[in-house]
Amino acid sequence: MMSEGGQSEPAYKVLAAELRSHIAAGRYRGGVRLPTESELSRAYGLSRQTVRRAFLELVTEGSVYRVPGRGTFATENVGQYLRQLGSIEDLMNLSADTEMKVLEAPSRRVDLAAAGRLRLDTDVVYRIVFQRFHDQVPFVVTTVFWPESVARLVLDSPQVRQGATSDLTMIGLIEPHLQHPIDECAQSITATTADAETAGRLGCEVGHAVLRVDRLYSDSQGRAVELAVSHFLPEHYTYRVTLRRNNQ
């Protein structure tokens, strides 16, 4: 039994530490489900709320992930940053447990490729570059391109100045200013290698394997509002998507 009172450390942290040690020992390898909240509540004599807080801590740090309707599972390759993605809201909530640092403030430039992907009738775009950290370790560098009309909505924001740090995402920053909400994200994933600039920003060697993820965000009217090109370090990042059958 694990008491909820009379101890220096909260019961949920004690439970999280015990589950963490079980995971490290390999008890839940190979897709073995962790005990449910009810099972842990009965086994340790804790409230469901306490057990839920322990699970939340493990989910936040990436030690476990949850699959709706199936349960909670140990993350393979613990120590990587893992994010379960299935919606625009999940992408916006990337900021929940990471920190962003702006490397290059927004600048106006001519970029035919980016303008073409944004479906603009001009070659002018605005570009901003930032890193994202998890536990103070940089795991991705992202270059974002905006149409000029979108960029002007946030150019005066302190969060986009060079060197600024925050827990925001760029789409989370711009969406409140848009006339129509972001409704779609078209995504492509490519295995590639780090060039000199990317390697310097990620702290890896030139030619190191990286995961390139391109995301083109559009609003509910079909207008492209942001192109984000990210390079992830695979040793510090795991990408997971849940696919479900269409029952229509």
Tell me the pLDDT tens digit for each residue of 50-108. Answer: 999 999 888 877 788 888 778 888 876 555 554 555 555 556 555 556 789 999 999 99
Tell me the domain boundaries of the chain. 11-74, 81-241
pLDDT band with cut points at 50, 70 and 90 for residue 247: low
Lowest mean pLDDT among 21-25, 83-87, 140-144, 218-222: 83-87
- What was the pLDDT predicted at 127? 98
| Number of residues that this document lists for the chain | 248
- What was the pLDDT predicted at 222? 93
CATH of 81-241, one of 3.40.1410.10, 3.40.50.720, 3.40.50.2020, 3.100.10.10: 3.40.1410.10
Those residues with Cβ within 8 angstroms of residue 246's Cβ, 6 or more apart along the chain or in another chain: none
CATH code for the part of the protein at 11-74: 1.10.10.10
212 φ/ψ angles, rounded to the nearest 5 degrees:
-95, 125
Place of tokens 């893992």: 82
DSSP run (H or E) holding 142:
strand 137-146
Provide, rounded to the nearest whole percent, the portion of the chain with pLDDT above 90. Answer: 56
Provide, rounded to the nearest whole percent, the portion of the chain with pLDDT above 70. Answer: 84
Q: Tell whether the model's pLDDT for residue 150 goes beyond 90.
A: yes
Amino acid at 67: V
Is the Cβ–Cβ distance between 201 and 138 less than 8 Å? yes
pLDDT per residue as tens digits for the range 178-217 = 999 999 989 999 999 999 999 999 999 999 999 999 999 9
Q: Tell whether the model's pLDDT for residue 39 goes beyond 70.
A: yes
Average pLDDT for the chain = 86
- What was the pLDDT predicted at 68? 76
Cα torsion through 185, 106, 212, 120, rounded to 10: 50
pLDDT band with cut points at 50, 70 and 90 for residue 219: very high
Which residues, in sequence order, are bridge partners of residue 107?
A: 127
For helices 11-24 and 48-61, give the axis angle rounded to 10 degrees.
50
- What was the pLDDT predicted at 29? 83
pLDDT band with cut points at 50, 70 and 90 for residue 25: confident
Is the Cβ–Cβ distance between 246 and 208 less than 8 Å? no
Those residues with Cβ within 8 angstroms of residue 160's Cβ, 6 or more apart along the chain or in another chain: 102, 105, 106, 128, 154, 173
> For residue 177, what are its two tokens?
């200013």
Q: Tell whether the model's pLDDT for residue 121 goes beyond 60.
A: yes
Lowest mean pLDDT among 97-106, 139-148, 150-159, 219-228: 97-106
User: Rounded mean pLDDT of 146-159?
Assistant: 96
User: Rounded mean pLDDT of 2-20?
Assistant: 77
pLDDT band with cut points at 50, 70 and 90 for residue 153: very high
